[in-house]
Chains A and B, each alone.
Chain A
């Protein structure tokens, strides 16, 4: 790991009657994709907006390359918000050119159009773009200053699966250029594909932090068995197994698959709908909080 490009120290954000962030601290090494994971309302966007310098914390601070956020940070940061409207009646190229003009250094517009697969749309009015196309334009705008650190706040929320996968491909291409990225998401697949390090945020606090693989190793010794809730009779739910019940299913964590299957068969639990899979980040969140991530 290299030295941190961003340090978040004891961030607290309070609104009347609500503590949105409760003393959050972490650091982001240069060149990694850092994921902030959590359900809606967990404090991800508040954290990232304070890190972007557009929201003031009640206490605590964010440092960029060892210094408080200032003009250097604004020149070197690229930002993609959850939702951003652009100026009406401007084409894709004109929108990019407008933002390019706000920075001292940056990328060539044609290069950006190519990178974000917008060449064919360059002269199109940005109001006539689809959701996926608009998100690619907003990503291009975030890259217009060739940023050292790129913030992506729930970048694929609202996109269809195809557009989401296309967007991931773009982000992976940018990641290959060793850009530091801060990503918030509640899509576990997105975090697993894109993030090197994650912090799981819940109710304004970080409840786990590390690489996805290390976190999964730390919290899950073995595999997960998944059964529809309806297939597990009430008596079987008291078996001496590590079970987590949700509305539709029951998950069993085990490091001795054979013994667990025998126990289930003896309890006359039908196994025709059984799924066995390795644990993922969604399971990790469930394990840590007892709640589903998208609840």
Chain B
């Protein structure tokens, strides 16, 4: 029995080691996750409070409050944008430097209360301008993230594995002998998965939204358009991976390498506002980040098409690029 077991064990090990692509990804994935997590969550202690400074911190260099530890000072370009952020409790206090400085604080915000005490301790003459407004519930903030994450897994794994299975079974080879082109085949896969995802996401939105008493502040039609473009971009990304490879383990490795950073960097669970610039740069390039950012703008803050137009354009371009690359690199057979 041991001999048979060892024989199969040895053969399987050879199979795994000789599948170089899979081997590389098996090693690469945990290393890249550890490095990525280290960059995101490492570094000095995080600031406890966020203060917006109208005109930027450079314009207020003499202000002693700006040297307070564990407070993050964020440059705010206009008073209107700053007030919107204070009302939504995205920042704890808004400061307009000057003599005396003015500040706006949200009377509904506990963190605003503490930040105000810190400011007055540093500069007792600062003039107060109270505002009010409730913070977005974490549940409401999380809701688009969960829907987006579900879409991402369905897009990447749903399409990637299906095409891989078709290739392994020889079904793609049979299709290759028909007038069907690679672009037609890939487009059909995209549309099929898109139909499924839009239906499932709509059902989830309605059902979970009713459960948690969520009401979108923005247009549902715009949200649908965003869902379609977001799903298209991620399906097309899945197809570029499945376009060539024939190894199940390799495709699994690459899909994991894509989904993990998207899960961590795209703002599904938490905001990356305080992360290093390069992390935010990488995150912004991911379709899921773009989708979630725009979805939250529409769902939570009632943004219109003008606000999220750049995101819609980006997702559209990404879809076309991925699909064209997938069709170009597509292999019908092993």
Contact = CB atoms under 8 A, between A and B. Distances in A.
Contact of B179 (A71, A83, A84, A141): A71
B98 interface: no
B178 A54 contact: no
A74 B184 CA distance: 15
A79 B171 contact: no
A52 interface: yes
Contacts of A199: none
Contact of B174 (A71, A81, A103, A104): A81
A72 to B, nearest CB: 10
B4 to A, nearest CB: 28
Interface residues on A, range: 10 to 19
Contacts of A226: none
A48 B179 CA distance: 18
Contacts of A83: 170
Question: Which of B170, B173, B174, B180 has the most C-beta atoms of chain A within 10 angstroms of its own C-beta?
Answer: B174
A54 B173 CA distance: 8
A54 B332 contact: yes
A192 interface: no
Nearest to A151: B177
A57 B163 CA distance: 26
B177 A74 contact: yes
Nearest to B171: A85
Interface residues on B, range: 10 to 19
A141 B332 CA distance: 19
A51 to B, nearest CB: 11
B177 A85 contact: no
Contacts of B176: 54
Interface string B152-183: 00000000000000100111011111111000
B174 A84 contact: yes
A281 B177 CA distance: 31
A86 interface: yes
Interface string B177-212: 111100000000000000000000000000000000
A103 B179 contact: yes
A81 B170 contact: yes
A102 B178 contact: yes
Contacts of A84: 170-171, 173-174
A85 B179 contact: no
Interface in A64-95: 71, 74-75, 77, 79, 81, 83-87
Describe A's contact surface by its main secondary structure. Answer: loop
Contacts of A168: none
Nearest to B176: A54
B179 A79 contact: no
A86 B178 contact: no
B177 A52 contact: yes
B171 A86 contact: yes
A29 B171 CA distance: 30
A75 B181 CA distance: 12
Contact of A85 (B169, B178, B180, B333): B169
Contacts, number: 39
Interface in B59-107: none
A220 interface: no
A85 B170 CA distance: 6
Nearest to B168: A85
Contact of A74 (B166, B173, B178, B332): B178
Given A54-B332, A54-B333, A75 B179 contact: yes
Interface string A3-14: 000000000000
Interface in A258-295: none
Nearest to A141: B174
Interface in A105-143: 141
Contacts of A158: none
A60 interface: no
A141 B174 CA distance: 10
Interface in B282-334: 332-333
Contacts of A81: 170, 173-174, 177
Nearest to A86: B171
A54 B171 contact: no
A54 B177 contact: yes
Question: Which of A81, A102, A104, A141 has the most C-beta atoms of chain B within 10 angstroms of its own C-beta?
Answer: A102
Interface in A224-266: none
Interface in A14-70: 52-54
B221 to A, nearest CB: 32
A86 B171 CA distance: 6
Nearest to A52: B177
A28 to B, nearest CB: 17
A295 B177 CA distance: 31
Contacts of A53: 177
A99 interface: yes
A99 B173 CA distance: 13
Contacts of A52: 177
Given A54-B332, A54-B333, A85-B169, A74 B174 contact: no
A104 B174 CA distance: 17
Contacts of B332: 54
Given A54-B173, A85-B171, 13 more contacts: A53-B177, A54-B176, A54-B177, A74-B177, A79-B177, A84-B171, A84-B174, A85-B170, A87-B166, A87-B171, A99-B178, A102-B175, A102-B178
Interface of B: 166, 169-171, 173-180, 332-333
28 contacts: A53-B177, A54-B176, A54-B332, A54-B333, A71-B179, A74-B177, A74-B179, A75-B179, A77-B177, A79-B174, A79-B177, A81-B170, A81-B173, A81-B174, A83-B170, A84-B173, A84-B174, A85-B170, A85-B171, A86-B171, A87-B166, A99-B178, A102-B178, A102-B180, A103-B178, A103-B179, A104-B179, A141-B174
